[in-house]
Amino acid sequence: MLKIYGADLSAPSNKVRMAANKLGLEYEYILVALRDKEHKELWFLDLNPVGKIPVIDDDGFILFESDAIIKYLAQKEKSDIYPSELKKRALIEQWMDFTSIHIGGAMSRVLFNRVFAKFAKVEADERSLQDGLNFLHRFLPVVDKQLKEHPYLAGNSFSLADISLLATLDPVDIGGISIEEQDNIVKWRQALKSQDFYLKCHKEYGEKLKGIFKDRT
Ligand SMILES: N[C@@H](CCC(=O)N[C@@H](CS)C(=O)NCC(=O)O)C(=O)O
């Protein structure tokens, strides 16, 4: 059976679980405890020498990097959420790249400095935090406009790009990032968060976070 190595607070891991859910795949979800540095242990580095989650093991085929993983799974299932038609696929990949590189990059800066630096017991970097907020301020309206003009991120059909954006934006609340002004993102997000593929991953991102914070303060 497909194995997914990940963690509940890892947006890229959740992206893989949401995609597997949407594709109707059965899988074993193996939690990797980052706070116990399991991702630095030899058994894990054998799976991913980079030492990052998520990783999948699909009957011995090992793959890391969440976007590569969800493309592989959707292609294997010949799913229409990742169509083979050249231009449709190119647009999906354009929005996936934009989401991971620009939105995800900015989210990481904000989340690390506002939330996870405390866990790691390192000082927050105010400059990096501000850069992250500035990038989100610049890029989220672009996504909002796209979702005003189209029902889904890559156009008229639900695709891997929507799963990627949904998982990437999941931590906005714990990061204190306001997206309320982005009406179209808000509506799109609400509609997708009520669907089974999301609810099979979690009801709400970070639902266990309060407990974790309490344990560590
Ligand atoms: N580009 C990667 C990002 C993976 C990533 O940054 N994973 C984080 C958790 S969200 C991680 O494993 N961090 C541990 C570390 O870097 O030591 C992907 O999309 O899979």
Burial class (CB in 10 A: 0-12, 13-18, 19+), 18: buried
Average pLDDT (112-122) is: 91
Tell me if 178 is assigned to some domain. yes
Pair (94, 165) in one structural domain: yes
Whether the CB of 125 sits within 6 Å of ligand 1: no
Tell me if 217 is assigned to some domain. no
Mean per-residue pLDDT of the chain: 95
CA of 132 to the centre of ligand 1 (A): 17
To test the pocket of ligand 1, the residue of 50, 52, 65, 72 to mutate (highest count of ligand atoms within 8 Å of its CB) is 52
Whether the CB of 54 sits within 6 Å of ligand 1: yes
Sign of CA dihedral 56, 196, 201, 189: positive
Q: Which residues pair with 29 in a beta bridge?
A: 4
pLDDT at 213 over 60: no
Whole-model pTM over 0.85: yes
- What integer pLDDT is reported at residue 177 of this predicted model? 96
Pair (51, 96) in one structural domain: no
Pair (169, 137) in one structural domain: yes
**Residue type for 47, please?**
L
CA of 29 to the centre of ligand 1 (A): 16
Tell me if 57 is assigned to some domain. yes
CA of 34 to the centre of ligand 1 (A): 10
Tell me if 136 is assigned to some domain. yes
pLDDT-based confidence at residue 1 (cuts at 50, 70, 90): very high
Pair (16, 66) in one structural domain: yes
- What integer pLDDT is reported at residue 199 of this predicted model? 97
Domain that holds residue 111: 86-199
Pair (99, 168) in one structural domain: yes
Q: How many CB atoms within 10 Å of residue 61?
A: 10
CA of 64 to the centre of ligand 1 (A): 10
Tell me if 69 is assigned to some domain. yes
Whether the CB of 8 sits within 6 Å of ligand 1: no
Pair (19, 55) in one structural domain: yes
At 64-95, the pLDDT tens digits run 999 999 999 999 999 999 999 999 999 999 99
Provide the number of structural domains found in the chain: 2
Average pLDDT (140-149) is: 98
Pair (128, 172) in one structural domain: yes
Tell me if 209 is assigned to some domain. no
- What CATH number does the domain containing 110 carry? 1.20.1050.10
C-alpha to C-alpha distance for 134 and 132, rounded to whole angstroms: 5
Which is the closest atom of ligand 1 to the Cα of 11?
Answer: 10
At 34-51, the pLDDT tens digits run 989 999 999 999 999 999
